[in-house]
Amino acid sequence: MIQEASLHEDKKFEHLDFSEQKLINKEFVACDFEDCNFSKSDFSSSEFMDCNFSNCNLSLAVFNHVGLKNVHFTTCKLMGIDFSKCNAFLFSIGCINCQLDYSIFFQKKMKKTIFKDCSLKEVDFSEVDLSGAGFQNCDLSGTAFNRSILEKADFRTAYQYNIDPSLNKMKQAKFAATGLEGLLSKFQLDID
């Protein structure tokens, strides 16, 4: 069904297993994916616009030259994905209750992106523009923020982060008082 046609519009895909399959040069517009397994699939040169993924496994999928425009992931596994290889034009995603551990967003523009109730362990946000982004109740253990733009980003309910203010643009970023340790860890202070 997916492999035959190159354009899919206003379709719902449920309970499909396309793990380790090549799904290249496809276009999906206003499509919903529910309970699908796309682990280790190759989506190279495909486009997703106004699509929703729910309860899907996309871990280790290949996203070379993929367009993600207004794509929402809910309760999905997105582990080990190199989003830095996605098309930059209109790159826009949102994630709720997702596992994005070990993923890479290097140099993406992700202004106002919302991550809610997500696991973002060991994620690479180096040189990413996260202006106005929200990290609501997200685990940021081992996540790299290096030369990133975090201005007006909201980290008030995020936890386990280690962000060096001297290496990132952070004007008006929001933090809870209980999270200050994650901003001062490089100074090896004893904070009670």
Report CA torsion sign: 5, 6, 10, 11: positive
The answer to whether residues 24 and 3 touch, using CB atoms and an 8 Å cutoff, is no
- Give φ, ψ of 185 to 5 degrees: -60, -30
Q: How many CB atoms lie within 10 A of CB 89?
A: 8
- Match 């923020």 to its residue by tokens: 145
Confidence (pLDDT) at 183: 80
**Rounded CA gap, 64 and 82, in Å?**
8
Note the pLDDT tens digit of each residue in 49-61.
999 999 999 999 9
Q: Cα(128)–Cα(60) distance, rounded to whole angstroms? A: 21
Phi, psi angles (nearest 5°) of residue 179: -100, 5
What was the pLDDT predicted at 142? 97
Give the pLDDT score at 3.
66
What is the chain's pLDDT, residue by residue, as a tens digit (192 residues)? 576 779 999 999 999 999 999 999 999 999 999 999 999 999 999 999 999 999 999 999 999 999 999 999 999 999 999 999 999 988 999 999 999 999 999 999 999 999 999 999 999 999 999 999 999 999 999 999 999 999 999 999 999 999 999 999 999 999 998 877 778 676 565 655
Domain architecture of the chain: domains with CATH: 1-104 (2.160.20.80)
Residue 189: per-residue pLDDT: 53
Is the distance from CB of 33 to CB of 52 less than 8 angstroms?
Answer: yes
Q: What is the DSSP string of 110-144?
A: -TT-EEES-B-TT-B-TT-B-TT-EEET-B-TT-B
